A and B are shown apart, each in its own frame.
Chain A
Amino acid sequence: MSDEDDFDLNDLDDKELVEQIQDDLYDGLDAEVTEGTEILLARGWDANDVLGEALVGGMKIVGIDFRDGILFVPEVLKCAGAMKGGMGILRPILAESAEDTSLGKFVIGTVKGDIHDIGKNLVAMMCEGAGFEVINLGINNPVENYLEAIDEHEPVIVGMSALLTTTMPYMGVVVEEMEKRGMRKDTHIMCGGAPLNQEFADSIGVPAYGRDAARSAEMAEEHVLGLRNKRDHR
């Protein structure tokens, strides 16, 4: 960047600043996104609006360009880092705010016996970018981890990942346990991973198969918006 491009974020009006944060998020500029977030808050913005308009708005663009092959994994991981910077400031405020505009909680993890991390993290990030509060359980999760997380967080969606033909049947185990405990009523289940397909997903009773990170986040969002529509029409 040349010196001419240097400017003070404080000089921008609100609309310009939101666009600038989105651009900085796209470029994975952690410090700039953090600073922009702080400025909006200092101007009296509600944390929910900062999240929705600046960060989620920015990550939506990232998601679309990732899906379309314009952005690549290392860039998207940087975007996620920048998003984290902004979220670090917003999260404590959001936790105390009465109004909740988040899409809800999304618990995600790779199943037992499987140590593949990256694809699952991309989904986690895209979902966070879509406006979910994501609880990432990491890799190699026995069924107990999912059940505990569901009890603790009451997520609207649980997502499972597996990258091996030997580990993907374990998703069925988790589904069964959730079924037994009556957890499926309030918790939507999604699954994904390289060897999976729609047929397998159907076979374990989880029709929501996300073929890639961007599509998974879209499906998660569609699910929640669908629920809200139903509720509103009641």
Chain B
Amino acid sequence: MTTTTLSSASKEVTIGFGHPFVMIGERINPTGRKILAAEMKVGDYSRVVADAIAQVAAGAQMLDINAGIPLADEPAILAEAIRRVQAVVDVPISIDSSIIEALASGLEAYQGRALVNSVTGETENLERVLPLVKKYGAAVVAISNDETGISEDPNERFKVAKKIVEHAADYGIKPEDVVVDPLVMPIGAISQAGNQVFELVRKLRSELKVNTTCGASNVSFGLPQRNGINNAFLPMLIAAGMTSAIVNPLHPELVQAIRAGDVLTGVDDGCGSWIKAYREPTADGSDVRDGRRRRKRA
């Protein structure tokens, strides 16, 4: 069974077949968040820290950190954001940038085993990102596009993913440390975008035997009630075999849908996490089961 293990200084998280789905919190990303971008640019990380705490409290097992701000010193800002976040939460981090210098500086600042987000199938990109992943002993997200763009044919995208896994092996990076992003396209523009991804995820899992992740909310671009689409999409991805995703955990319905997906695919042992999260609290707010156990021991 394939497992990708990420860590912070004090905590390990496993993405893997047979493991609960890993929610990677997406909020720390200045794209489309004007206030956050302006604050990060001038060295104000208060919102970054608050977002980190809130997402972990909401159930995120990992956090994605992106510092892609136009005309800013992305390597420095990304590194500082990582330091600030690691000072307040203990979940592993996905270091998100398309700039190689920013990935390097983020990895340098990071404590633990990070997930590098991301490498593409473009030869030049592979040759720059993979040595860095190897140097820091990290894992990496592999995006299934190459010089020719994003194919609408799942078989073509599978080939690109395979190419990345093989290149990674050449650099001494194990297949289990490559987490493939099958690329989710907007369903409003490409009506088969959902089916393409489901098919690709199944194939990636059964044939390439790799973990998978994606930026799921792209699927609902341009539609009303986007959350409704997103909340249905995640359990469908889980059913197809996806093992993690970059999501907004501040939507309780989404978190619940993902946890339900874990229950229904049998990875939430004895429905334990589900019950713990959603058991009706007692009047005094204590957990009934824990309370009884304590009494017995006393």
**Which residues of A line the B interface, CB within 8 A?**
69, 72-74, 76-77, 115, 118, 139-140, 164-166, 168, 194-197, 199-200, 203
Contacts and interface: CB of A to CB of B under 8 A. Distances in A.
Contacts of A166: 98-99
Given A72-B222, A165-B68, A166-B99, 9 more contacts: A69-B224, A72-B223, A76-B222, A115-B145, A115-B149, A115-B150, A118-B186, A139-B149, A166-B98
27 contacts: A69-B224, A72-B188, A72-B223, A73-B186, A73-B189, A74-B189, A74-B222, A74-B223, A76-B222, A77-B188, A115-B149, A118-B186, A118-B221, A140-B149, A164-B98, A165-B68, A165-B69, A165-B70, A165-B74, A165-B98, A165-B99, A195-B31, A195-B32, A195-B70, A197-B34, A197-B70, A199-B71
A114 to B, nearest CB: 10
Interface in B1-54: 31-32, 34
A168 B71 CA distance: 10
A73 B70 CA distance: 27
A74 B219 CA distance: 12
A50 B178 CA distance: 56
B171 to A, nearest CB: 22
B32 A194 contact: yes
A118 B189 CA distance: 7
A72 B224 contact: yes
Contacts of A115: 145, 149-150
Contacts of A140: 149
Nearest to B189: A118
Contacts of B186: 73, 118
Contacts of A77: 188-189
Contacts of A72: 188, 222-224
A48 B74 CA distance: 50
B189 A199 contact: no
A136 to B, nearest CB: 15
A199 B72 CA distance: 11
A203 B222 CA distance: 29
A168 B72 CA distance: 13
A72 B221 CA distance: 9
A74 B98 contact: no
Nearest to B32: A194
Contacts of A76: 222
A137 to B, nearest CB: 14
Contacts of B189: 73-74, 77, 118
Contacts of B150: 115
B164 to A, nearest CB: 16
B35 to A, nearest CB: 12
Nearest to A70: B224
- Which residue, of B74, B150, B188, B221, has the highest number of chain A Cβ atoms within 10 A? B188
Interface in B222-261: 222-224
Given A73-B189, A74-B189, A140-B149, A195 B68 contact: yes
Interface string B165-202: 00000000000000000000010110000000000000
Interface string B41-81: 00000000000000000000000000011110010000000
Contacts of B71: 199-200, 203
Contacts of A194: 31-32
Nearest to B74: A165
Contacts of A139: 149
A203 B32 CA distance: 19
A167 to B, nearest CB: 8
Nearest to B72: A165
B221 A73 contact: yes
Contact of B222 (A73, A197, A199, A200): A73
Nearest to B191: A74
Interface in B139-157: 145, 149-150
Nearest to B186: A118
B215 to A, nearest CB: 12
Closest 6 A/B residue pairs (Cβ): A73-B222, A165-B68, A200-B70, A73-B188, A166-B98, A115-B149
Nearest to B69: A165
Contacts of A168: 70
Nearest to B224: A72
Contacts of B32: 194-195
Contacts of A203: 70-71
Contacts of B69: 165
Given A165-B69, A166-B99, A199-B70, A73 B149 contact: no
A60 B31 CA distance: 29
A199 B38 CA distance: 11
Nearest to A140: B149
Contacts of B188: 72-74, 77
From B74, B150, B189, name the one whose CB has the most chain A CB atoms within 10 angstroms: B189
